[in-house]
Amino acid sequence: MDNVVHIKVSKVNFFYGKTHVLKNISMDIYKNKVTAIIGPSGCGKSTFIRLFNRMNDLIPNTKVEGHIYLDGEDILLTKTDVVNLRRKVGMVFQKPNPFPKSIFRNISYGLEVNNIKDRKFIEERVIESLKKAALWEEVKGRLNDNALMLSGGQQQRLCIARCLTVEPEVILFDEPCASLDPISTKKIEELITELKKNYTIVIVTHNMQQAARISDYTAFLYLGELVEYGITEKLFTVPENPKTEEYLSGKFG
């Protein structure tokens, strides 16, 4: 089961109005692996991963060309059920964004909006998601507390638990540790390493050390182009493209 292609990106171009943001990108993302997307600010990293759950659809005056296949189906087609796609492809954002509700309701919300009413099932799924997000031991006695009372790192793990409740296949992380302290960052990194046993992970990160620590594959984007993509260890130690080497050594970006 090693290196099964989960998401196939083929000749993708993306435009904000007339601005050509992503240019002819093709790459395979592998099942149960962590794929890091690195590159300087403004190079199209977040725009790129938002294609996988069609979040860019929410931005007016945008256009996408090419194909992205998830489990062999082209998710960019007009007929795609976007609600179902976003269940399959969960997302965790840069800043934790818990709802101003109880810890329990934050996690159960995704089930409730999908018309699941079985209370026992909901409770079991909430506990399971909190355990998977390595948060259960810290919050099990305070599930009725407002989630906004949690620390930043706990809030981010809560958002991960909320994402897990609806059982996605893929989890997108957009700079998940950008607003966290080093201890919380370490917990999130350990959690991502654990989660890849059951999920395919794509993470955008400015932190090259983080990409080196936790990813199996790394893609280097620059000015909307995919400069280099490959096994993380190889890309960081013997990059094939001189521009990758310049970026990794801090000569720009």
Per-residue pLDDT of 80-125, as tens digits, reads: 999 999 999 999 999 999 999 999 999 999 898 888 889 999 999 9
Classify the C-alpha dihedral 61-64-69-73 as positive or negative: positive
- 140-167 in b/e burial notation, b at 16+ Cβ within 10 A? eeebeeebeebeebbbbbbbbbbbbbbe
CA distance 12 to 22: 7
Average pLDDT, whole number, for the chain? Answer: 95
Q: What are the CB-based long-range contacts (under 8 Å, 24+) for 111-114?
A: 111/165, 111/166, 114/87, 114/166
Q: Does 136 score more than 80 pLDDT?
A: yes
Percent of the chain with pLDDT over 70: 99
pLDDT of residue 11: 98
> How many angstroms separate the most distant Cα atoms in the chain?
57
User: Among candidates 253, 96, 94, 98, which has minimal Cα distance to 178?
Assistant: 94
Please state the rounded mean pLDDT for residues 174-181.
93
Encoded amino acid at 87, one letter: R
pLDDT of residue 252: 80
* pLDDT tens digits, 40-79: 998 999 999 999 999 999 999 999 999 999 999 999 999 9
* pLDDT tens digits, 146-177: 999 999 999 999 999 999 999 999 999 999 99
User: Among candidates 35, 27, 33, 73, which has minimal Cα distance to 54?
Assistant: 73
Q: Does 130 score more than 60 pLDDT?
A: yes
CA distance 145 to 38: 37
Q: Does 180 score more than 80 pLDDT?
A: yes
How confident is residue 1, by pLDDT bands cut at 50, 70 and 90?
very low
Q: Give the 3-state secondary structure of residue 6.
A: strand
Instruction: Report residue 165 as tokens.
Output: 């409740």
Structural domain spans, the chain: 5-248
Q: Domain 5-248 has what CATH class? A: alpha beta
Q: Does 253 score more than 90 pLDDT?
A: no
pLDDT of residue 3: 86
CA distance 191 to 193: 5
Percent of the chain with pLDDT over 90: 92
Q: Does 141 score more than 60 pLDDT?
A: yes
232 near 67, Cβ under 8 Å?
no
Question: Where in 71-129 does DSSP place strands (E)?
Answer: 73-74, 89-92
Record the pTM. 0.95
Please state the rounded mean pLDDT for residues 3-22.
96
Encoded amino acid at 45, one letter: K
